[in-house]
């Protein structure tokens, strides 16, 4: 298994894709944090003097979580796109081992992404906050959100692996994932919150505790893991068993 993990690791570091995705994630985080501070104004409901706005500001360090999902999706679908899947299955024919190794490596990459991107978001906030009136920085809360983001990104990357294995086509998987995360889920969460909190995105929101009506963090994590396990199990028995021609 360790050889398989090393192999999967090298698959990521030997191309420049991770670089591109990291830059995009940094950009998304900056787009979330910078306006939240610079446009915060004073003494109104959007002011950072309001503690709930501060909580939203810190939740913004995890706004690039979708990039972790994409990281996982590309790790699997890229193999089908470039037909490297042929050699991957020749060297390791057991599909469960293949998915497990990919998931393990992508979890680490998701965590690294969160450490880099979340750290960047926190630094950005600390540098910019003195320009605006704000309520005090609750170090404990910030550390909690940072830790939660690391776990969330790791789980999202693993979920991406499962989704990629299930769909196989890179374009379709990315379109489906982005439409789901950016359109479908927000709609469901808004109009059917009771259903929404049980969706993958509901599990993700649980991490940042930005609204009182969510699942506890541990349940959100289990929910994401549950989706991952179900998708992977189906993929291993169906889409990954298809003929490689």
Partner 1 sequence: MSRVSEPSITVSHLTKDFGRVRAVDDLSFEVLPGRVTGFLGPNGAGKTTTLRCLLGLVRADEGHARVNGADYRSLKNPARTVGAVLEATGFHPGRSALAHMEIRADVLYGRRESQRCRNLLGFVGLGDAQKRRVGGFSMGMRQRLTLAQALLGEPDILILDEPTNGLDPAGIAWLREFLRSLADQGRTILVSSHLLAEVRQSVDDVVIVSRGRLRRAGRLGDLIGSGAAVLVRSPQTEQLRAALEQARADVRGSSPDGLEVRGLSMAEIGHRAHACDAEVHELRELDAETDLERLFLALTEGDGDA
94 binds partner 1, rule: CB under 8 A: yes
The stretch among 91-99, 114-122, 151-159, 162-170 that binds partner 1 (CB under 8 A) is: 91-99
| CB-nearer residue toward partner 1: 92 or 169 | 92
6 binds partner 1, rule: CB under 8 A: yes
244 binds partner 1, rule: CB under 8 A: yes
Which 11-70 positions form the footprint of partner 1 (CB under 8 A)?
Answer: 11, 14-17
Residues 171, 239 contacting (CB under 8 angstroms): no
| CB-nearer residue toward partner 1: 27 or 94 | 94
DSSP 12-78: HHTSSHHHHHHHHHHHHHHHHHHHHHHT--SSSTT-TTSHHHHHHHHHGGGTTHHHHHHHHHHHHHH
237 binds partner 1, rule: CB under 8 A: no
Residues 56, 125 contacting (CB under 8 angstroms): no
| Distance of alpha carbon 41 from the chain centroid | 30
- Contacting residue, 39, 43, 90, 139, with partner 1 by CB under 8 A: 90
96 binds partner 1, rule: CB under 8 A: no
| CB-nearer residue toward partner 1: 93 or 136 | 93
3 binds partner 1, rule: CB under 8 A: yes
171 binds partner 1, rule: CB under 8 A: no
- Contacting residue, 52, 84, 211, 238, with partner 1 by CB under 8 A: 84
Distance in Å, CB of 76 to partner 1, minimum: 13
Q: Round to the nearest angstrom and report the end-to-end CA distance of the chain.
A: 26
d(CA 92, CA 88): 6
The stretch among 37-45, 83-91, 108-116, 228-236 that binds partner 1 (CB under 8 A) is: 83-91
d(CA 244, CA 7): 21
Residues 83, 170 contacting (CB under 8 angstroms): no
Apex CA 239: angle with CA 110 and CA 196, to 5°?
Answer: 55
Contacts with partner 1, residue ranges (CB under 8 A) = 2-4, 6-7, 10-11, 14-17, 78, 82-87, 89-94, 241, 243-245
């Amino acid at each position: 298994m360790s050889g398989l993990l090393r192999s999967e690791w090298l698959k990521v570091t030997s191309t420049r894709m991770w670089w591109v995705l990291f830059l995009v994630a940094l950009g998304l985080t900056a787009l979330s944090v910078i306006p939240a501070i610079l446009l915060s104004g004073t003494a109104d409901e959007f002011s950072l003097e309001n503690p709930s706005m501060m909580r939203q500001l810190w939740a913004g360090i995890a706004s690039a979580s979708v990039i972790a999902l994409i990281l996982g999706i590309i790790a699997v679908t890229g193999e089908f796109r470039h037909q490297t899947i042929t050699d991957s299955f020749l060297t390791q024919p057991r599909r469960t081992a293949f998915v497990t190794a990919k998931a393990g490596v992508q979890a680490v990459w998701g965590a690294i992404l969160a450490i880099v991107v979340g750290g960047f978001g926190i630094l950005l906030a600390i540098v910019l906050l003195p320009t605006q009136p704000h309520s005090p920085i609750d170090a404990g809360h910030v550390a909690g959100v940072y830790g939660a983001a690391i776990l969330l990104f790791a789980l999202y990357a693993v979920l991406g692996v499962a989704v990629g294995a299930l769909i196989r086509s890179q374009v379709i998987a990315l379109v489906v994932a982005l439409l789901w995360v950016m359109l479908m889920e927000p709609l469901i969460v808004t109009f059917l919150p009771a259903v929404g909190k049980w969706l993958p995105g509901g599990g993700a929101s649980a991490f940042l505790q930005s609204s009182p009506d969510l699942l506890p963090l541990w349940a959100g994590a289990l929910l994401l893991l549950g989706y991952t396990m179900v998708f992977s199990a189906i993929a291993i028995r169906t889409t990954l068993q298809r003929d490689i021609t």
